[in-house]
Every structure is written in C-alpha cells, then in structure tokens.
Amino acid sequence: MTAVQLREADRVPVAPQITYTTAHFVGVKFSDGLKDPQTMARLLVAGFRLAGYDGVYVGWESSFDLVAEAMGCKLEIKPDEIPVVRERVVKNKKDVKMLRVVDPESSGRIPIHLKAIQLAREQIGTSVPIFRYVPGPLTLVGALIGPEKMLMNLIKDPSFIRQALEPATESAIKFAAAAVKYGSDIVVVADPIASTTVISPRMFNEFAYPALCQLIERISEVGGIPSLHICGKTEPILEEMTRTGAKILELDHSVDLAVAKAKIGTRVCIQGNLNPAGVLLTGDPQDVEAESRICIEKASKDGGFILSSGCEVPLDAPLQNIKAIVSAAERFGVY
Ligand SMILES: [Zn+2]
C-alpha cells in the first residue's frame, strides 16, 4: 500500500501474479478449485504462505472467460487444463441485443470466486492486500464474439463492437464492485487485447480507453484501488494507461522498466515485470534473482514499485523460483 501511494516502503514489496499455479505447489490439480471456493481459497493461501510474498491474487483462470461464461459462453473444462471458450454467445451482430449484464451474486461461477475472496480474507487477515482480476471491456467483447471476429470488426463494423462494449463494460463494473464488497483491496483490470502487440495505439484510444476509464472510475468510487494489466508491448500507450486513473500499472516483460519509470514513475505505481515463461518457468532461482535485481535497479528508486511477474505465472513454474523473487527483494530491494 505504501508503494501504491508512491512512497518507499521498508523494502520493495513482492506480489507475483500467481493464481492456479499454487495448486501444483501442494500437489493438487488446479481444476479441483474451479467449482469449489474452499479449495480455491485454500490453495491460493497455501501458495502465499509457502512462498512468502506480500499480496494474494484471488481467483482462478482468466477473468474474461469467467465473465464471458456468466454471460452465456460455453467453456470446455478438462482436468488440470486452463478452461477455454468453446462456444461464443455472440455469433452475429443481432445477438448483441440478447446480452445481459451479469448479476455477480448469481451469474455463472462468479459467486464461487466472490466466496473465495471472502474465505481468503478470513484466512490471511486484514494486513495482506487481496488482488482480484476483472476483465477489460474490450477483451471481454473478444471473449463474447471471438477474438478474430472482434479484431476484424474494429475495422469492418465498429458499431458492432461499440454495441457489445456497453453490456461488457457494465458487467465488468458489476463484478468489480462485488469483488470490493467481498474483500478485494486492489481490482486489476486485465485487458490483453488492448495491447499494442495486438491493436494500434489509435484503436486503443478509440475502443479500449473510454471503457477502461469508465470501469476504473467506478472501481475508485466503490473504494477499490484500480490497477491496469495489459500484456505484451505497451510503451506507446503508457501515457494513456496512466491517464485512465489506475493507481498501479502491471507491465509485461517486454516493456523496459527504466523507460516506464522515467515516463510515468512519478504518477503511478509500477508493477512487474519478470519474464513468466523465460525465467519463472524455465529458469532457476539464480536466474530469477538476477532478473529481479535488474527490475529493482530500474524501477524501485523513490518507491512506487512492486516486484512481480510480467504476466500470469505459468502453471508448472517451480515454487523455488517464486521464493527467489521474495529473497531478491530482501537482498536487493531494501530502502
Ligand atoms: Zn498479461
């Protein structure tokens, strides 16, 4: 919380973006927690206790698929595999009118995730922040329509996308407000499709940015701390991401933290950005420590920095590598 307020804590705080991977730390199939809030919360808290980081991400799987399912998409769920959308609810433009905004207390499996937040809070107490992902509106539209069709229609039929953005934004707002009510401190808007790896900065400004501003404003109004996670390359839109009103930006490993720190580091807390596949999954603890040290050197000056992965920690990343992020902060991140 000190880092979020752009001040120096006693040391650089550590909050890896780790969810279902914690199941493997205790030898459980992560799919066991998909429909059971007790298991989900227990495994997430187990990971936190084993690795010793400073904040807990509560939830499982991608938030956009969870909300897409609650809005009518069909997911394919297989043992120990990340669920994927098999059937889209919007097959053509006229289906958009049928979309209903979610009721977080009853739609799909959202209530399971809310319950898990509550249970995790009971287990970890009030001094550890809980992070909760909610979908970025444009990415949620991608899940409802299909990402390829969505991207094509940004050019072919922008009104199709604008119409779908309304219930998508409203659903994300409802979910975010419920997440805060159930005990989340930090609400992280995950919007991978808004990345400049996928769309141009002009399209980001036209389609993603207005909906993000609306969602982030609502998160602040209900008492949550808004954070913004956009995967891949985001250097061309760092300014706009900061102007959304987010208090934290989760930056992926392809962003140079020194560049980000110089551009926006006095206005927003930066979180990142160890390479999830490159070092956390396939590296060893020494590699993780070395890369963590570089992140700390680039972005921790004067506070306002949380050491983390650049994106979700991959399933099968070893516990020792997650512990190494914490030990690196203890060794190199003391203010
Ligand atoms: Zn990401």
Tally the C-alpha atoms within 13 A of residue 294's C-alpha that lie toward its C-beta: 13
Label residue 23 exposed, middle or buried (CB < 10 Å: 0-12, 13-18, 19+): buried
How far is the centre of ligand 1, averaged over its atoms, from the C-alpha of 325 (Å)? 18
- Please give the pLDDT value at position 319: 97
| Spacing, Cα 11 to ligand 1 middle (Å) | 25
3-class DSSP string for the chain: CCCCCCCCCCECCECCCCCCHHHHHCCCCHHHHCCCHHHHHHHHHHHHHHHCCCCEECCCCCHHHHHHHHCCCEEECCCCCCCEEEECCCCCHHHHHHCCCCCCCCCCCHHHHHHHHHHHHHHHCCCCCEEEEEECHHHHHHHHHCHHHHHHHHHHCHHHHHHHHHHHHHHHHHHHHHHHHCCCCEEEEECHHHCCCCCCHHHHHHHHHHHHHHHHHHHHHCCCEEEEEECCCCHHHHHHHHHCCCCEEEECCCCCHHHHHHHHCCCCEEEEEECHHHHHHCCCHHHHHHHHHHHHHHHCCCCCEEEEECCCCCCCCCHHHHHHHHHHHHHHCEC
Nearest to 238 by CA among 210, 204, 193, 203: 204
Q: What is the pLDDT of residue 78?
A: 87
Distance 319 CA to ligand 1 centre (A): 20
Give the distance (Å) from ligand 1 centre to CA of residue 155.
24
Q: How far is the CA of 281 from the centre of ligand 1 (A)?
A: 15
Q: For position 35, what pLDDT does the model report?
A: 87
Q: pLDDT value at position 87?
A: 97
User: How far apart are the CA of 252 and the centre of ligand 1, in A?
Assistant: 6
Bridge partners (DSSP) listed for residue 14: 307
Could you read off the pLDDT tens digit of each residue along the chain, which spans 335 residues?
A: 999 999 999 999 999 999 999 999 999 988 888 889 999 999 999 999 999 999 999 988 789 999 999 999 999 988 888 889 999 999 999 999 999 999 999 999 999 999 999 999 999 999 999 999 999 999 999 999 999 999 999 999 999 999 999 999 999 999 999 999 999 999 999 999 999 999 999 999 999 999 999 999 999 999 999 999 999 999 999 999 999 999 999 999 999 999 999 999 999 999 999 999 999 999 999 999 999 999 999 999 999 999 999 999 999 999 999 999 999 999 999 99
Tokens linked to 20: 């279902």
Residue 149: both structure tokens together:
């069709």
Looking up tokens 């098999």 gives 86
Question: Residue 62: what pLDDT?
Answer: 85
On whether the CB atoms of residues 52 and 326 are closer than 8 A, the answer is: yes
- Going by C-beta distance under 8 Å and a sequence separation of 6 or more, which residues neighbour residue 128? 48, 54, 55, 56
In angstroms, what is the span from residue 274 Cα to ligand 1's centroid?
11
Cβ-contact 29, 79 below 8 angstroms: yes
CA of 225 to the centre of ligand 1 (A): 19
Structure tokens at 59: 């939830």
From ligand 1's centre to the CA of 311, what distance in Å?
Answer: 4
What's the confidence (pLDDT) of residue 80? 85
Give me ligand 1 centre to Cα 146, in Å.
Answer: 18
Alpha carbon of 189 to ligand 1 centroid (Å): 10
Distance 307 CA to ligand 1 centre (A): 15
pLDDT at 82: 86
Residue 57, strand partner residues = 131
pLDDT given for residue 34 in this prediction = 87
Give the model's pLDDT for residue 91. Answer: 95
